Amino acid sequence: MVVCIIGPQWLELLQERARTGEKDYVRIELEETLKHNKLITPICILGAEVPRFSALPDTLKPIFDKWNVARMGYTNLPTPRYPHRAHQLGQRAGARRKRATLLRIQR
Protein backbone atom coordinates (compact mmCIF):
# COMPACT_ATOMS: atom_id res chain seq x y z
CA MET A 1 0.00 0.00 0.00
CA VAL A 2 1.16 3.53 -0.79
CA VAL A 3 -0.05 6.47 1.28
CA CYS A 4 -0.54 9.68 -0.69
CA ILE A 5 -0.17 12.60 1.73
CA ILE A 6 -2.02 15.67 0.44
CA GLY A 7 -1.21 19.08 1.86
CA PRO A 8 -3.04 22.35 1.15
CA GLN A 9 -0.92 23.09 -1.97
CA TRP A 10 -0.71 19.56 -3.37
CA LEU A 11 -2.91 20.15 -6.41
CA GLU A 12 -1.41 23.58 -7.10
CA LEU A 13 2.13 22.14 -7.08
CA LEU A 14 1.05 19.21 -9.25
CA GLN A 15 -0.42 21.57 -11.85
CA GLU A 16 2.56 23.94 -11.71
CA ARG A 17 5.04 21.15 -12.39
CA ALA A 18 2.92 19.94 -15.29
CA ARG A 19 2.85 23.47 -16.77
CA THR A 20 6.59 24.07 -16.41
CA GLY A 21 7.64 20.58 -17.44
CA GLU A 22 9.55 20.14 -14.19
CA LYS A 23 10.04 16.48 -13.29
CA ASP A 24 7.45 15.52 -10.66
CA TYR A 25 8.70 12.49 -8.78
CA VAL A 26 5.57 12.23 -6.66
CA ARG A 27 3.37 12.02 -9.74
CA ILE A 28 5.73 9.50 -11.34
CA GLU A 29 5.62 7.30 -8.23
CA LEU A 30 1.82 7.49 -8.01
CA GLU A 31 1.40 6.66 -11.71
CA GLU A 32 3.77 3.69 -11.41
CA THR A 33 1.88 2.47 -8.35
CA LEU A 34 -1.40 2.60 -10.27
CA LYS A 35 0.15 0.81 -13.27
CA HIS A 36 1.05 -2.07 -10.98
CA ASN A 37 -2.46 -2.17 -9.47
CA LYS A 38 -1.20 -1.36 -5.99
CA LEU A 39 -3.39 0.22 -3.36
CA ILE A 40 -3.06 3.99 -2.83
CA THR A 41 -4.65 5.59 0.22
CA PRO A 42 -5.03 9.37 -0.07
CA ILE A 43 -4.80 11.31 3.21
CA CYS A 44 -5.33 15.05 3.62
CA ILE A 45 -3.32 16.91 6.25
CA LEU A 46 -3.22 20.48 7.55
CA GLY A 47 -6.80 21.16 6.47
CA ALA A 48 -6.26 20.24 2.82
CA GLU A 49 -9.40 19.52 0.84
CA VAL A 50 -10.04 16.57 -1.43
CA PRO A 51 -8.71 17.67 -4.85
CA ARG A 52 -11.35 18.47 -7.46
CA PHE A 53 -11.66 15.39 -9.64
CA SER A 54 -11.92 17.52 -12.80
CA ALA A 55 -8.64 19.31 -11.96
CA LEU A 56 -6.63 16.08 -11.73
CA PRO A 57 -4.65 14.61 -14.61
CA ASP A 58 -6.40 11.56 -16.05
CA THR A 59 -3.54 9.33 -14.91
CA LEU A 60 -4.19 10.17 -11.23
CA LYS A 61 -8.00 10.16 -11.22
CA PRO A 62 -8.24 6.49 -10.16
CA ILE A 63 -6.78 7.47 -6.77
CA PHE A 64 -9.78 9.67 -6.07
CA ASP A 65 -12.69 7.84 -7.63
CA LYS A 66 -15.60 7.55 -5.23
CA TRP A 67 -15.21 3.81 -4.72
CA ASN A 68 -11.54 4.11 -3.80
CA VAL A 69 -12.02 7.08 -1.46
CA ALA A 70 -14.92 5.42 0.36
CA ARG A 71 -13.36 1.97 0.58
CA MET A 72 -9.93 3.12 1.68
CA GLY A 73 -11.20 5.28 4.51
CA TYR A 74 -10.04 8.64 3.14
CA THR A 75 -9.29 10.78 6.15
CA ASN A 76 -8.07 14.20 7.17
CA LEU A 77 -5.24 14.23 9.68
CA PRO A 78 -4.43 17.31 11.75
CA THR A 79 -0.71 17.62 12.49
CA PRO A 80 -0.71 17.21 16.31
CA ARG A 81 -2.20 13.71 16.12
CA TYR A 82 -0.62 12.71 12.83
CA PRO A 83 1.81 10.06 14.18
CA HIS A 84 -0.93 8.36 16.20
CA ARG A 85 -3.44 8.48 13.34
CA ALA A 86 -0.84 7.27 10.83
CA HIS A 87 -0.13 4.28 13.08
CA GLN A 88 -3.87 3.50 13.25
CA LEU A 89 -4.10 3.72 9.46
CA GLY A 90 -1.21 1.29 9.13
CA GLN A 91 -2.92 -1.17 11.44
CA ARG A 92 -6.18 -0.95 9.48
CA ALA A 93 -4.34 -1.41 6.19
CA GLY A 94 -2.61 -4.50 7.58
CA ALA A 95 -5.94 -5.93 8.70
CA ARG A 96 -7.48 -5.26 5.27
CA ARG A 97 -4.54 -6.92 3.57
CA LYS A 98 -4.93 -10.03 5.74
CA ARG A 99 -8.69 -10.13 5.01
CA ALA A 100 -8.04 -9.76 1.27
CA THR A 101 -5.53 -12.61 1.40
CA LEU A 102 -8.00 -14.81 3.28
CA LEU A 103 -10.75 -14.02 0.77
CA ARG A 104 -8.48 -14.98 -2.12
CA ILE A 105 -7.57 -18.26 -0.44
CA GLN A 106 -11.20 -19.12 0.32
CA ARG A 107 -12.40 -18.59 -3.25
- How would you write the chain as a 3-class SS string? CEEEEECCCHHHHHHHHHHHCCCCHHHHHHHHHHHCCCCEEEEEECCCCCCCHHHCCHHHHHHHCHHHHHHCCCEEECHHHHHHHHHHHHHHHHHHHHHHHHHHHHC
Identify which has the larger pLDDT, 29 or 86: 29
What average pLDDT does this structure show over 84-88?
60
- Per-domain residue ranges for the chain? 2-106
What pLDDT is attached to residue 93? 61
pLDDT digit string, tens, across residues 28-72? 999 999 999 888 888 888 888 888 889 999 999 988 875 555 444
Phi, psi of 60 (to 5 degrees): -105, -5
Which amino acid is present at 40?
A: I
Model pLDDT, residue 68: 55
pLDDT band at 103 (very low <50, low <70, confident <90, very high): very low
